Amino acid sequence: MKLSEKYTQLLLGMLCLFLAGVVSAAGMNPCAMPNPCAMKNPCAAKVKHFDIDATKVLRPAGTRLAAGNHNELVKEGKVLWNDTKLSSNGMSCNTCHQDHNSFSASFAKPYPHKISMVKERAGIKGAVRLDEMVQFCMLAPMAAKPFPWDSRELAALTAYAAEVQKSYKASRAAKKPKNPCGAMKNPCAMQGNPCAMKH
């Protein structure tokens, strides 16, 4: 372990001891509180039943995406890609795909193609288009409503995702998806922390 890591661990351990002393009079162990960042990565969550309505993912027959200048759509899509206001849980497209990583290997294939996550959560066994994948992501993990099919937003995000796909290398899919909370450590869960002792 590097010196800086030991120093950090020591400081966090002291903080946990301090907190334990502050609340001990109330009979509470601060280290017993759950760490919200210990939850599974919401970008890779798996469920045992279909929790996404397939009719909100699949493009209705005869639907056309909003038209516009491709470069302008891509520019607008890049802004939307990082916009946490699109979700109901503070996530953005970039939350799951930081630095354009953490896609499945199939992202390198031309759309439409089959996607296991869509099959698992929406029961869609066939191939999906890129705009349908955008709609799926709005529903999960963004926990928001899908865009109107003729909206500028859907066209822009689809155009930007297509640009991201062009430079995507399938080998990068080997990297595990990053948990947005992964950078935050719970001092009470650290090995050797006195707060981890049974009370």
Q: Would residue 180 count as lying in a domain?
A: no
Pick the closest to residue 50 from 125, 131, 128, 111 (CA basis): 125
* Domain presence at residue 107: yes
61 and 143 share one domain: yes
For 191, counting Cβ atoms within 10 Å of its Cβ (0-12 exposed, 13-18 middle, 19+ buried), the class is exposed
pLDDT level of residue 12 (50, 70, 90 thresholds): low
Are residues 156 and 190 located together in one domain of the fold?
Answer: no
Do 53 and 116 lie in a common domain? Answer: yes
Angle at 173 between CA 169 and CA 176, to 5 degrees: 150
Q: Which two tokens stand for residue 28?
A: 């509470």
Q: What is the pLDDT of residue 17?
A: 45
Q: Identify any residues that bridge with 128 across adjacent strands, giving them in sequence order.
A: 113
Residues 96 and 51 in one domain: yes
**Co-location of 123 and 161 in the same domain:** yes
Range name among 111-115, 133-137, 144-148, 192-196 with the lowest pLDDT average:
192-196
60 and 150 in a single domain? The answer is yes
Q: Which helix (H) or strand (E) holds 16?
A: helix 3-23
Q: Is residue 91 part of a domain?
A: yes
Mean of pLDDT over the chain: 76
Which residue range is the domain that position 12 belongs to?
Answer: 3-35+185-196
Least confident of 16-25, 40-49, 80-89: 16-25
Asked whether residue 179 carries a pLDDT value surpassing 60, the answer given is: no
CATH number at residue 143: 1.10.760.10
Work out how many domains the chain is built from and give that number. 2
- Rounded Cα distance between 71 and 74, Å, is 5
Backbone angles phi, psi at 7, to 5 degrees: -65, -45
Distance of CA 78 to the CA centre of its chain: 16
Do 12 and 89 lie in one domain? The reply is: no
Per-residue confidence band for 24, with pLDDT thresholds at 50, 70 and 90: very low
Alpha-carbon distances of 185 from 21, 102, 123, rounded to whole Å: 21, 22, 36
The tens digit of pLDDT for each residue in 86-102 reads: 999 999 999 998 877 77
Question: What are the tens digits of pLDDT across the range 52-71?
Answer: 999 999 999 999 999 999 99
What pLDDT does 183 receive? 46
24 and 104 in a common domain: no
